[in-house]
């Protein structure tokens, strides 16, 4: 068998990179599987959990780049056998165990890129088994990466979670709503509303909007406290992320309906002279843009009396 050489380098192309690319050719399946086993063989665990080997700062990013490329090209194939199911899980666990420090900007960004590709590939091959590792990724991205001092790490972690939500969770959301997984993930993201996350609240709010859509209208009671927290933040003086918060509340209105959201964040309109301040007027454009598939009876009972009172007062 001839070995193809890299045009820009005289070194041979490694097998794990050469044969790792996805292909519909069934004869290459054994090379993809061998590539997975080759990577695992090169990372020997010293105990029950895989530990990070001691490498220098110069070689450490290369290790992550190697694993990132591996996860992109070889992890997860549509045709897997029983042995490869365990190998896929071990490869993903290896990536999770090699997580760098949250304030190590260069290595953390590389790691997040690799782990995002690994989850998406793992999902394509074994969607059910992949769900067992989702909460771990949410914990890392929210509890650690969003507390990083580097904006680049915060942005990357947010994009990783949004990718996971879009490509892994949304396609099977109907079945997931009957499991505790979505509630667990929502609580992890909701924890980002605490004051420890003040500098990254804009990213937390983006994620909350996506989580409202995942939870669905039947989860309103579970999301009540979160909506109350958002209302409290909106009334806080000099709050910096008004646009992001309004977007999250708008998605909640679209999902849960105006009647339920207004029971938590009322307009406080009476139609009298007392309405001079209109402190909750920020809700009006959100209601205009996000109301859909609601009950006409709520409009008649809630808004019409206020409208008639305003007309009389005017």
pLDDT digits (tens, 9 = 90+) for 115-125: 999 999 899 88
pLDDT digits (tens, 9 = 90+) for 125-161: 888 889 999 999 999 999 999 999 999 999 999 999 9
CA torsion through residues 220, 222, 228, 234, sign: negative
206: how many CB neighbours lie within 10 A of its CB?
A: 19
Q: What is the pLDDT of residue 279?
A: 77
Q: What percent of the chain has pLDDT over 70?
A: 68
Mean pLDDT of the chain: 78
CA dihedral for 280, 281, 286, 288, sign (positive or negative): positive
Q: Tell me the pLDDT tens digit for each residue of 49-70.
A: 333 333 334 444 555 555 555 5
> Which one has a higher pLDDT value, 305 or 143?
143
Q: Does the structure show a pLDDT above 60 at 14?
A: no
**Can you tell me the mean pLDDT for 288-314?**
76
Q: Is 116 left (phi over 0), alpha (psi -120 to 50) or beta?
A: alpha
Give the pLDDT score at 243: 96
Would you put residue 23 in left (φ > 0), alpha (ψ -120 to 50) or beta? beta
Measure the CA angle with vertex 146, ends 144 and 152; round to 5°.
115
pTM for this model (two decimals)? 0.74
Higher pLDDT, 102 or 305: 102
35 pLDDT band, cuts 50/70/90, is: low
**Direct distance between the N- and C-terminal alpha carbons of the chain, in angstroms, rounded to an integer:** 89
Measure the CA–CA gap between 68 and 20, rounded to whole angstroms.
12
Q: By percentage, how much of the chain surpasses pLDDT 90? A: 50
Query: Rounded to whole angstroms, how far apart are CA atoms 266 and 245?
Result: 16
Confidence of residue 45 (pLDDT cuts 50, 70, 90): very low
Q: Supply 285's token pair.
A: 């454009």
At residue 22, the pLDDT reads: 45
The full set of domain ranges for the chain reads 1-44+56-176, 197-314
Residue 98 has pLDDT above 80, yes or no: yes
241-269: pLDDT as tens digits: 999 999 999 999 999 999 999 999 988 77
| CA 87 distance to own-chain centroid | 25
Q: Tell me which residue has tokens 């890299």.
A: 6
| Side-chain half-sphere CA neighbours of 207 within 13 A | 30
What whole-number distance in Å separates Cα of residue 234 and Cα of residue 242?
7
Which ranges constitute the DSSP H helices of 165-314? 173-176, 181-190, 201-215, 220-234, 242-256, 258-264, 283-290, 296-298, 304-313
Q: Which of 301, 302, 209 is nearest to 254 (CA)?
A: 209
Concatenate the DSSP letters of all residues of 29-92 into one string: HHHHHHHHHHHHHHS--SSSS-------TTTHHHHHHHHHHHHHHTS--SS--HHHHHHHHHHH
Average pLDDT of the segment spanning 285-307: 79
Dmax (CA) of the chain? 90
What does the alpha-carbon distance between residue 187 and residue 144 come to, in Å, rounded to a whole number? 15
According to the model, what pLDDT value does residue 44 have?
A: 41
Rg, Å, the chain Cα set: 25
Q: pLDDT, tens digit, for every residue of 176-218? A: 988 999 999 999 999 999 999 999 999 999 999 999 999 999 9
Q: Is 286 buried (19+), middle (13-18) or exposed (0-12) by CB count in 10 A?
A: buried
Strand partners, 5: 12
């Amino acid at each position: 068998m001839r070995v193809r050489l890299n045009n820009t380098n005289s070194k041979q192309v490694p097998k794990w990179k050469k044969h790792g690319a996805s292909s519909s050719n069934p004869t290459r399946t054994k090379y993809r599987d061998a590539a997975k086993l080759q990577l695992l063989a090169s990372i020997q665990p010293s105990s029950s959990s895989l530990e990070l080997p001691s490498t220098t700062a110069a070689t450490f990013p290369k290790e992550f780049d190697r694993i990132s490329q591996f996860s992109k090209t070889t992890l997860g194939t549509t045709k897997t056998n029983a042995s490869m199911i365990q190998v896929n899980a071990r490869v993903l666990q290896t990536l999770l165990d090699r997580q760098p420090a949250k304030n190590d900007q260069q290595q953390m960004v590389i790691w997040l890129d690799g782990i995002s590709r690994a989850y998406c590939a793992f999902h394509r091959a074994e969607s059910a088994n992949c769900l067992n590792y989702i909460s771990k990724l949410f914990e890392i991205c929210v509890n650690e990466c969003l507390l990083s001092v580097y904006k680049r790490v915060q942005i990357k972690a947010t994009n990783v979670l949004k990718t996971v939500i879009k490509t892994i969770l949304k396609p099977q959301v109907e079945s997931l709503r009957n499991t505790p997984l979505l509630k667990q993930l929502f609580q992890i993201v909701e924890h980002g509303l605490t004051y420890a996350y003040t500098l990254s609240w804009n990213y937390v709010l983006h994620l909350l909007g996506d989580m409202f859509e995942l939870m669905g209208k039947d989860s309103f009671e579970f999301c009540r406290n979160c909506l109350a927290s958002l209302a409290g933040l909106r009334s806080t003086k000099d709050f910096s992320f008004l646009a992001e918060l309004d977007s999250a509340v708008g998605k909640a209105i679209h999902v849960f309906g105006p009647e339920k959201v207004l029971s938590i964040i009322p307009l406080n309109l009476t139609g009298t002279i007392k309405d001079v301040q209109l402190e909750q007027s920020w809700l009006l454009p959100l209601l205009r843009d996000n109301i859909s598939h609601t009950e006409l009876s709520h409009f008649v009972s809630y808004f019409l009396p206020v409208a008639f009172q305003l007309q009389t007062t005017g």
